[in-house]
């Protein structure tokens, strides 16, 4: 097994699979129990000395319990019906509320097709920043999840769906903004009475969560992988020195760049810095916004990225700094700009 | 004058294409992404040699370009501006992604291989 493959496997192992069951199922109930146990702990002696900090902590605990309870399937069904009123497009999944949460999530995903991504993206961007700073954001990040839920959703949708939908789905998590308070159903009640966009964020986010279990790795459109591989494999071989580089590894590489890379709007692709032989290079992985398929994976010169994707802010750096123009030994006449020997 | 004679799309959604450019004597298949060019469009900037290697002095003083694989080439070119790593084959200017050594004087011929010729 090559070093490259080993790195790959490690990277894939690092990413725990998303489980939509964590919304409104065992995980939530388990966490709810933990939360309730904490609440029954004798604490009244301290109550008279409540400081702002303690109050805040208590409020977080309550909101956490509220969030968890608010996502239980039975409550979800009742409120989801009302949310439909606020959805601008059709969300056919809501017709079947009352069945399992899994079904609801799956069918909400179907409703995503009606989402107007441009509007959602704009509103969701704003909502996302609010969410990250909110009490609820801290709760989500603190849930007993190997990877914080909000971050998982964000990463997943960023990689899997058109950007507009992705933004809206991340914004869906901002539905948790409405769960602040003491009443158990405040979260969903807040969503149903909120702006129409909020309802849609919610549907989008839940839909994406519902779909997440069915997708692990992205692929090229049927037949396209071979075409791109044929064009670019030679470059990978030269830069990375791979022997026996395969289409499967090529697709895995693309997934890795999409997972860990930075999105460049100028290139409509995810980009990351590649190692290997020669000057600095970027790996560019394209994604079809409509289908979620990989469109390309290839190497680009860092100078190209500086010129064509200025939003990345990447500029070529000199590897060596010339310090001595007289010495006969070239190695002694240069030093690394990074301080390395 | 360098002109685009054909565009072969690899992925339209990624705007990725193999663009054929020609100065009427030499023809190159260049890689372009994102490609916003159109057929018959004139090119007024150098193309870019990507992953250049095996650069050495040429035994002959004649331009040459040969395909060594899919998109990869072996070229014999004249050094135009050594400090800017610019060479030319016919009327086609190529910017290398490695430094041209100082022994390669401007006007002399060098030989090199590249994994791809890019049109930016």
Contacts of B26 (CB under 8 A, 6+ apart): B63, B65, B89, B90, B92
For A41-55, A90-104, B39-53, which range has the lowest pLDDT when averaged over its residues? A90-104
Arithmetic mean of pLDDT, A212-225: 69
In this structure, are A171 and A232 located in the same domain? no
The shortest C-alpha distance from B24 to chain A (Å) reads: 25
Residue A283 is assigned to a structural domain of this protein:
yes
In this structure, are B54 and B95 located in the same domain? yes
Q: Is the pLDDT of residue B108 over 80?
A: yes
Arithmetic mean of pLDDT, A194-219: 44
For A46-60, A94-108, A235-249, A263-277, which range has the lowest pLDDT when averaged over its residues? A94-108
Q: Is the pLDDT of residue A76 over 90?
A: no
pLDDT per residue as tens digits for the range A7-50: 434 433 333 333 333 333 333 333 333 333 433 333 444 444 45
In this structure, are A159 and A29 located in the same domain? yes
Mean model confidence pLDDT for chain A: 56
In this structure, are B62 and B94 located in the same domain? yes
Measured between beta carbons, the chain A residues lying within 8 angstroms of B98 are: 278-279
pLDDT > 90 fraction of chain A, expressed in percent and rounded: 2
In this structure, are B60 and B104 located in the same domain? yes
Q: Do B10 and A231 touch (CB under 8 A)?
A: yes
Measured between beta carbons, the chain A residues lying within 8 angstroms of B50 are: 235, 299, 301
For A84-93, A112-121, A142-151, which range has the lowest pLDDT when averaged over its residues? A84-93
pLDDT per residue as tens digits for the range A161-171: 444 443 444 44
Could you tell me the CA-to-CA distances from B12 to A32, A280, A289 in Å, in that order?
Answer: 49, 27, 12
Cis peptide before B34 (omega within 30 of 0): yes
Residue A340 is assigned to a structural domain of this protein:
no
In this structure, are A253 and A133 located in the same domain? no
Count structural domains, chain B. Answer: 2
Centre a 10 Å sphere on the Cβ of residue A132 and count the other Cβ atoms it contains. 16
In this structure, are A72 and A181 located in the same domain? yes
In this structure, are B9 and B61 located in the same domain? no
pLDDT band at A323 (very low <50, low <70, confident <90, very high): low
The shortest C-alpha distance from B1 to chain A (Å) reads: 23
Phi, psi dihedrals of residue A5, rounded to the nearest 5° = -65, -40
**A253/A271 Cα distance (integer angstroms):** 12
In this structure, are B39 and B52 located in the same domain? no
**B115/B96 Cα distance (integer angstroms):** 11
Q: Do A235 and B115 touch (CB under 8 A)?
A: yes
In this structure, are A124 and A190 located in the same domain? yes
In this structure, are A274 and A155 located in the same domain? no
In this structure, are A183 and A59 located in the same domain? yes
Measured between beta carbons, the chain B residues lying within 8 angstroms of A307 are: 120
Nearest CA in chain A to B116: A235
> B35, B48, B51: which to substitute to probe chain A, counting the most A Cβ within 10 Å?
B51
pLDDT > 70 fraction of chain A, expressed in percent and rounded: 30
Is the entire prediction scored with pTM above 0.80? Answer: no
Q: Do B118 and A304 touch (CB under 8 A)?
A: yes
pLDDT given at position A52: 64
Better-predicted residue by pLDDT, A76 or B80? B80
Q: Do B34 and A301 touch (CB under 8 A)?
A: no
Measured between beta carbons, the chain A residues lying within 8 angstroms of B33 are: 267, 284, 286, 296, 298
pLDDT given at position A260: 83
Count structural domains, chain A. Answer: 2
Token pair 């750096």 is at which residue? A317
Q: A106, A211 in Cβ contact below 8 A?
A: yes
Q: B19, A236 in Cβ contact below 8 A?
A: no
User: Is any Cβ of chain A less than 8 angstroms from the Cβ of B33?
Assistant: yes
pLDDT given at position B62: 92
The shortest C-alpha distance from B6 to chain A (Å) reads: 17
pLDDT given at position A259: 83
Domain membership of residue B63 as a residue range: 47-118
Measured between beta carbons, the chain A residues lying within 8 angstroms of B31 are: 231, 298
pLDDT given at position A219: 86
Residue A219 is assigned to a structural domain of this protein:
no
**A224/A228 Cα distance (integer angstroms):** 6
Task: State the sign of the Cα–Cα–Cα–Cα dihedral A91, A93, A95, A100.
Answer: negative
Q: Do A286 and B51 touch (CB under 8 A)?
A: no
Centre a 10 Å sphere on the Cβ of residue A7 and count the other Cβ atoms it contains. 12
pLDDT given at position A146: 36
In this structure, are B80 and B39 located in the same domain? no
Measured between beta carbons, the chain A residues lying within 8 angstroms of B53 are: 238, 278
pLDDT per residue as tens digits for the range A114-144: 444 444 444 444 444 444 444 444 444 444 3
Better-predicted residue by pLDDT, B12 or A318? B12
Arithmetic mean of pLDDT, A322-339: 51
pLDDT given at position A142: 45
Domain membership of residue A308 as a residue range: 224-332
3-state secondary structure A173-224: HHHHHHHCCCCCCHHHHHHHHCCHHHHHHHHHHHHHHHHHCCCCCCCECCCH
pLDDT given at position B70: 86
Arithmetic mean of pLDDT, B77-86: 93
For A72-76, A333-337, B46-50, B68-72, which range has the lowest pLDDT when averaged over its residues? A72-76
pLDDT given at position B23: 87
Q: Do B71 and A234 touch (CB under 8 A)?
A: yes
CB-closest option in A224, A267, A299 to B11: A224
pLDDT per residue as tens digits for the range B42-70: 998 899 999 999 999 999 999 999 999 88
How many CA atoms within 13 Å lie on the side-chain side of A168?
Answer: 29
pLDDT given at position A233: 87
Contacts of A64 (CB under 8 A, 6+ apart): A31, A35, A139, A142, A143
Q: Is the pLDDT of residue B94 over 90?
A: yes
In this structure, are A201 and A299 located in the same domain? no
Q: Is the pLDDT of residue B32 over 90?
A: yes
> B50, B73, B94: which to substitute to probe chain A, counting the most A Cβ within 10 Å?
B50
Q: Which of A186, A212, A238 is the last residue of a domain?
A: A212
**A60/A67 Cα distance (integer angstroms):** 10
In this structure, are B77 and B91 located in the same domain? yes
């Amino acid at each position: 097994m090559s070093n490259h493959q080993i790195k790959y496997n490690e990277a894939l192992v690092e990413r725990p699979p998303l489980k939509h069951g964590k919304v409104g199922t065992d995980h939530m109930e388990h966490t709810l129990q933990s939360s309730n146990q904490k609440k029954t702990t004798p604490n009244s002696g301290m109550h008279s000395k409540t400081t702002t900090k303690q109050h805040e902590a208590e409020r977080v605990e309550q909101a956490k319990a509220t969030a968890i309870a608010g996502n239980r399937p039975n409550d979800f069904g009742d409120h989801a019906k009302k949310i439909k009123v606020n959805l601008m497009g059709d969300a056919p999944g809501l017709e079947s509320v009352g069945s399992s949460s899994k079904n609801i999530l799956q069918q909400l995903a179907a409703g995503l097709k009606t989402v107007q991504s441009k509007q959602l993206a704009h509103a969701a961007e704003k909502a996302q920043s609010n969410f990250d700073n909110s009490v609820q954001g801290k709760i989500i990040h603190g849930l007993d999840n190997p990877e914080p839920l909000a971050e998982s959703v964000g990463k997943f949708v960023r990689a899997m769906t058109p950007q507009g939908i992705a933004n809206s789905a991340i914004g869906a998590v901002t539905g948790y903004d409405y769960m602040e308070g003491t009443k158990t159903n405040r979260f969903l009640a807040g969503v149903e009475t909120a702006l129409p966009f909020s309802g849609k964020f919610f549907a989008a986010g839940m839909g994406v969560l519902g779909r997440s279990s069915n997708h692990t790795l992205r692929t090229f459109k049927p037949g396209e992988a071979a075409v791109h591989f044929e064009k670019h494999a030679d470059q990978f071989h030269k830069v990375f020195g791979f022997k026996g580089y395969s289409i499967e590894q090529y697709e895995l590489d693309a997934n890795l760049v999409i997972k860990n890379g930075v999105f460049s709007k100028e290139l409509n692709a995810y980009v990351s810095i590649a190692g290997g032989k020669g000057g600095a290079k970027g790996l560019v992985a394209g994604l079809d916004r409509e289908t979620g398929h990989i469109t390309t994976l290839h190497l680009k010169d860092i100078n190209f990225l500086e010129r064509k994707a200025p939003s990345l802010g990447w500029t070529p750096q000199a590897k060596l700094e010339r310090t001595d123009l007289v010495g006969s030994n070239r190695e002694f006449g240069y030093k690394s700009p990074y301080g390395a020997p | 004058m360098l002109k685009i004679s054909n565009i072969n799309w690899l992925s339209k959604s990624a705007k990725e294409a193999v663009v054929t450019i020609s100065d009427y004597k030499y023809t190159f298949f260049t890689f372009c992404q994102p490609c916003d060019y159109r057929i018959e469009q004139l090119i007024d900037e150098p193309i870019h040699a990507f992953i250049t290697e095996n650069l050495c002095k040429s035994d002959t003083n004649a331009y040459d370009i040969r395909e060594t694989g899919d998109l990869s080439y072996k070229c014999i070119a004249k050094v135009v501006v050594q400090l800017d790593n610019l060479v030319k084959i016919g009327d086609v200017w190529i910017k290398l992604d490695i430094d041209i050594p100082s022994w390669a004087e401007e006007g002399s011929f060098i030989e090199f291989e590249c994994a791809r010729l890019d049109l930016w």
